[in-house]
Structure 1
């Protein structure tokens, strides 16, 4: 089972400025900044986290901190373990909004039905 939804370009070459992602998530989608490139929002009683990251061309990543990263090419939405149809629909809408805003795509194996 997948516990996150990934949003990125086909080959991970398209990058999004960290400041642009932050501004969009806070002002348009009403997420709160937890730390650099990490955001959260309570939706239907579940805490949803979004994280911007830098990945290689295969989507692999590894990091100790996101501090200092000014561009991201991968955005992940953590999915709660207990997800119902309503919450799944809301998270899907958030993922679609982010993908549309930054001309990215939602990974086909995204953990959502």
Structure 2
């Protein structure tokens, strides 16, 4: 049995269980992205919340999501201090993909949490 009941005239009808599953998957994906410092389109998250509510799982009233999740970004120098190594080694780890980071021009930016996790697993 299909989860999509009807698709016509620009309207999609989903069975309630399929709508809840879809909304849950979008919200989980958003959470996973946020942990990596990425941001899902707020309109998509709000739509997932509306779908969940319409499918029988109302959420408490919350203001629409309009901002990105904030994580503490640190520089290569700060990452080197935390890990007790050189900035050159930090840049090499990042370039090799062994340390999560984002290249912004010539500089690297890291999430403090990623550096702390790396430190705890590489003692």
TM-score (normalizing by structure 2): 0.26
Q: Which has the higher contact order (CA 8 A, sep 6+)?
A: 1
* Higher gyration radius (CA): 2
**Structure having the larger proportion of residues in helix:** 2
**Structure having the larger proportion of residues in strand:** 1
